[in-house]
Amino acid sequence: MRYGQFPHINGAGFFVLETVRQISNIHIKYTIDGYGQEVLVVELFTALKNSFLLPEKKALFRLNRISMRNTIVYISVILFLLFIPDVLQMILHFEDAEIPRSMYALQLMVIYPFLIIFLAVSGISLLAGVSFLIKVLLRRRLAYQQLWKMTAFALTIPLLLHVLLKYTVDYSFMINGVPLLVLYFLMYRMILVYPQRRRE
């Protein structure tokens, strides 16, 4: 699908359509030839390693080479793993005589993955919007799609920090505010890596 094929759709609309298409094509690749193998799991671990190295320039450029599909898989897996304790608590503390706990758990197992993908795409889209404003203020040459991927990978440390603070701190500002500050500090440093837009 190319942008030129849909002249009535603007850039933001095209990005949403392309994101949905990428989600629909998510699959685990495993091919072996005479020279090596291509495994999605390996790329996910590579993404995790480089996400911890941000805002280092080399790590940023390595992450930029990862496809949008695998970026969505990566952040969805991170969210899925980090919020499993919350799902388990919901099941353990479920008290409804009309629905058996086993049925409730089954419903969560079916709905949870789709909810995670929705939260990943919609949440990162909003956060990337703020990153776009930072890009405009700094006059850097970056497309929204690039900022979306950068935001997704930069969320790794803030998400881990959010989960850690949630179980150790009682102040809501620290639980949500500190991870956001860390995220946009990383985004600011990453955006500065790119060249300035020429003044017209």
Per residue in 71-120, pLDDT tens?
988 998 898 888 888 777 777 776 665 677 677 677 777 777 788 888 88
- Asked if residue 9 is part of any domain, the answer here is yes
Question: How confident is the model at residue 114, as a pLDDT?
Answer: 82
Question: How confident is the model at residue 190, as a pLDDT?
Answer: 95
Question: How confident is the model at residue 89, as a pLDDT?
Answer: 77
Among 141, 12, 155, 133, CA closest to 71: 155
- Asked if residue 59 is part of any domain, the answer here is yes
Give every CB contact of residue 34 below 8 A, 6+ residues apart in sequence.
none
- Asked if residue 52 is part of any domain, the answer here is yes
Among 86, 93, 146, 166, CA closest to 119: 86
| Euclidean distance between the first and the last CA atom of the chain, given in angstroms as a whole number | 32
- Asked if residue 200 is part of any domain, the answer here is no
- Asked if residue 167 is part of any domain, the answer here is yes
Q: How many CB atoms lie within 10 A of CB 107?
A: 11
pLDDT tens figures, 23-42: 444 443 444 343 333 557 77
| Rounded mean pLDDT, 174-199 | 90
What tokens were used for 160?
């881990």
Mean pLDDT of the chain: 78
Question: How confident is the model at residue 200, as a pLDDT?
Answer: 56
- Domains identified in the chain, total number: 1
- Structural domain including 149 reads 3-191
What tokens were used for 128?
């990337």
Residue 198 buriedness (CB in 10 A; 0-12 / 13-18 / 19+) = exposed
- Asked if residue 199 is part of any domain, the answer here is no
| Rounded mean pLDDT, 123-151 | 93
Question: How confident is the model at residue 151, as a pLDDT?
Answer: 96
- Asked if residue 198 is part of any domain, the answer here is no
Specify the 3-state DSSP secondary structure of 127: helix
CA distance linking residue 126 with residue 164, whole number of Å: 23
Please state whether 125 falls in left (phi above 0), alpha (psi between -120 and 50) or beta: alpha
161 pLDDT exceeds 80? Answer: yes
For residue 53, name the pLDDT band (cuts at 50, 70, 90). Answer: very high
| Rounded mean pLDDT, 125-145 | 93
- Asked if residue 38 is part of any domain, the answer here is yes
Question: How confident is the model at residue 197, as a pLDDT?
Answer: 76
Specify the 3-state DSSP secondary structure of 9: coil
CA distance linking residue 84 with residue 69, whole number of Å: 23
Question: How confident is the model at residue 6, as a pLDDT?
Answer: 41
Among 60, 187, 198, CA closest to 127: 187
